Amino acid sequence: MAARSPITCHVLDSSCGRPGRNVPVKLELLNAAANNTWSGLATGLTDSDGRVSSLLDPSHQLVAGIYRMTFQTAEYWASVGVSSYFHPYVQIIFEVAAGAEKQHYHIPLLLSPFSYTTYRGS
């Protein structure tokens, strides 16, 4: 298998059954030593399949901690002509546990104008 980013994501627009294309994504790490501020790690844009597969360099070593992935959903809804929606952005906060830093973390976002869900993908 080819090397890949240790954290990837996928946006699916469940209101129409298509990938969420061109959704801006930001990945951050909680820095407990700096008054619990968020440190930016990477930004990306979902591709035509709704994925960001190269968010981090494949050689990036994850550290144990709390991560936050922000999806700028207002920009997506505007791009597909939806003017009425509830969540202008979605933040998914997840933990990389000590001892699990070498695992791959895939964050799917199933999105519709008035709801969303997520799970740990593979």
3-state secondary structure of 32: helix
Q: In 3D, which of 42, 44, 41, 63 has the Cα closest to residue 52? A: 44
Q: From residue 89, give the alpha-carbon distance in Å to each of 11, 19, 57, 61, 97.
A: 13, 17, 25, 27, 26
User: Does 10 show up as a binding residue in the annotation?
Assistant: yes
> In angstroms, rounded to a whole number, what is the distance separating the alpha carbons of residues 65 and 62?
9
Give one word for 75, left, alpha or beta, with left for phi > 0 and alpha for psi -120 to 50. alpha
User: Does 119 show up as a binding residue in the annotation?
Assistant: yes
User: Does 51 show up as a binding residue in the annotation?
Assistant: yes
**Binding site feature residues for substrate:** 10, 51, 119
**Binding site feature residues:** 10, 51, 119
